Chain A
Amino acid sequence: NAGVMQNPRHLVRRRGQEARLRCSPMKGHSHVYWYRQLPEEGLKFMVYLQKENIIDESGMPKERFSAEFPKEGPSILRIQQVVRGDSAAYFCASLPGIDNEQFFGPGTRLTVL
């Protein structure tokens, strides 16, 4: 079974550009969570999505960040007008149902120059 896939694995952007991070959940998984890990810090929840629905976005910054999980295709985390403070590792996790264990993808390491 293929695990959770994320791409790109590394992304470099200049300040003001847009970053698009993709997460393809494991087959059969319809729940996706995004987490961010700042340098030397722990993982922080950002957003929880099911197909075509945002369930909980309480961890998302109010501006510049958005997420979607369309009926077809991967989940996308979009960061507009990136700033240096956005440099971090972004992980997604998927699971088949709400009561299951979360399995993480390899992450996207975003560097903002």
Chain B
Amino acid sequence: QKEVEQNSGPLSVPEGAIASLNCTYSDRVSQSFFWYRQYSGKSPELIMSIYSNGDKEDGRFTAQLNKASQYVSLLIRDSQPSDSATYLCAVGWKEYGNKLVFGAGTILRVKS
């Protein structure tokens, strides 16, 4: 059973701070990792993908992957109230057709 774990939160940070979201997964052969943002009542929106160990930066977002520790994180710098949403960690396994297994999501609240 492949599992993806996230702290449900809510994680509250002040505007302008760094928000750190974490995710662990159960299987060492996982190959692709994604962070989606989902606003209430809306569909998931892809914000970051990462496939190899290390950091990947895109604007205010940085994804970090550590396959040995089975850990992936998302940092959001200069958090804005508009970043308030549920962040979904998803893991794909190529041998399973790259279907995504999602964590339950972390609720982020950015307070102005």
Contact = CB atoms under 8 A, between A and B. Distances in A.
Interface of A: 33, 35, 41-45, 48, 55-56, 59, 91, 93, 98-99, 101-107
Contact of B94 (A44, A59, A98): A98
Contact of B34 (A48, A98, A99, A101): A101
Size class of B's contact patch? 20 to 34
B38 to A, nearest CB: 9
Most chain-A CB neighbours within 10 Å: which of B42, B43, B45?
B43
Interface string B90-112: 10001011111111110000000
A45 B105 CA distance: 15
B49 interface: yes
Contacts of A104: 36, 43-46
B63 interface: no
